[in-house]
């Protein structure tokens, strides 16, 4: 939907492939993880 509206942060090159988005749950953190904690739901 963001592609169609021209609101995506990166101009897609068609045919676009998988890999532009992801989601999950944090299972480990390092010293520089900032505010993230194990169990947090995240998306990009």
Which pTM does this prediction carry? 0.51
Pairing of strands 41-43, 23-25: antiparallel
Q: What is the pLDDT of residue 18?
A: 64
Beta-ladder partners of 5: none
* 3-state SS, residue 25: strand
pLDDT tens, residue order, the chain (44 aa): 777 787 877 777 777 776 667 899 999 999 988 899 999 999 88
Output the six-digit token pair for 40. Answer: 């947090």
Report the residue count for the chain: 44
User: Among the residues of 1-44, which ranges form H helices?
Assistant: 2-5
Q: Phi first, then psi: give them for residue 3, nearest 5 degrees.
A: -55, -50
Q: What is the pLDDT of residue 19?
A: 66
């Amino acid at each position: 939907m963001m592609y169609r509206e021209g609101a995506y942060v990166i101009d897609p090159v068609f045919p676009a492939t998988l890999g532009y988005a992801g989601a999950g749950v944090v299972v480990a953190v390092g010293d520089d993880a900032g505010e993230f904690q194990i169990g947090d739901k995240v998306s990009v």
